[in-house]
Amino acid sequence: MSTSPLAPLPPSVRADLLYRAARFELDNRLWQAALGGTDRARPDALTDRPTGGLLRLDTLIEALAAEDRLQPTLSPDTPPPPSAPSAPLSLGANQHLAPALERAAARTGLQPEVLASIVDAESARRPDGSWNPASRNPRSSATGLGQFLSGTWIDEARRPGSWLNATAEARGWLASDGSIRPEARSALLALRTDPAASIEVIADHAAANLRTLRARGIAPSDEAGTARAAYLAHHLGLGDTLRYLGAGLGEQRAGHLLAAQVGGAAAERRIAAAGNAVSAHRAWLDTYVDKRIQPARFLSA
């Protein structure tokens, strides 16, 4: 009798994977029904899914990445290496958030200026230049300093070992199976507008994404590269980041993502100028990242 690939995993992780596999399969069937029996029109549809039975473990992980879901922890996290000393943070109108950034950085092994650059690239600003913790994206459920989608925030709350999971457990928001109690959902999602909470979750999310990128052979060698990789995973989701840094996004997916960022009409103009959606999206995103993800800007001279 062959051994299941799930057998070595802790019970809580096995249960989470099985739940997600079932949810993914149900989601796939609903899409097929809505699209008349095919999932070809779905931008992020995977072409290598098994034809029947439970998803293979490696396929499940890739599927969850494509769905912008946080990756399950397949082995206990090793303690983060201590961050190298850096200059004091210089945040201007956001200086009051320096302690929160430093706490989250110390806990996850990231540099506080890396986290500051992610917040600065994601959050809307008030007229005085301060980050707006209540900012919302009118085109999605993205909210707060980290512009977390509802599903991603809930997945962080369900992930054992994360700051949000510990907070949800302490507040009685988790059911016995680790899911979010229905009556606690609103309070959990409202926590996205708490700047200190958003910073903690940004740090956990970045650390988890970086671990997976390094496991896939993407190992930034310096702070700037680490910040860039962490932001791409935060902005695109892990699955699209792996494709973006590898063979590249497909034409349909690139066009969809570009339109979500700059609007349909502007995306069409950029695509026409670049000749295709992949080049247009890459030009826009690379320019944006180069301009906004500059950790050194948030350090005192």
Whether pLDDT at 32 is above 90? no
Do residues 135 and 201 both lie within one domain?
yes
Amino acid at 282: R
> 179-208 pLDDT, tens per residue?
999 999 999 999 999 999 999 999 999 999
What is the DSSP-derived secondary structure letter of residue 184? G
Domain region containing 53? 11-66
Residue 223 is predicted with a pLDDT of 85
Do residues 124 and 173 both lie within one domain?
yes
| 3-state SS assignment for residue 182 | helix
Q: How confident is the model at residue 125 (pLDDT cuts 50, 70, 90)?
A: very high
> Do the domain assignments include residue 127?
yes
Give the H or E element holding residue 144: none
Residue 5 is predicted with a pLDDT of 46
Residue 194 is predicted with a pLDDT of 96
Q: How confident is the model at residue 138 (pLDDT cuts 50, 70, 90)?
A: confident
> Do the domain assignments include residue 37?
yes
Whether pLDDT at 30 is above 50? no
Q: How confident is the model at residue 15 (pLDDT cuts 50, 70, 90)?
A: low
178: left (phi over 0), alpha (psi -120 to 50) or beta: left
- What is the C-alpha to C-alpha distance for residues 243 and 194, in angstroms, rounded to an integer? 32
What are the beta bridge partners of residue 136? Answer: 143
> Do the domain assignments include residue 147?
yes
pTM for the structure as a whole: 0.71
- Dmax (CA) for the chain in angstroms is 66
> Do the domain assignments include residue 288?
no
Whether pLDDT at 4 is above 70? no
- CA 171 → CA 36, 67, 134, distances in Å? 43, 28, 22
Do residues 100 and 191 both lie within one domain?
yes
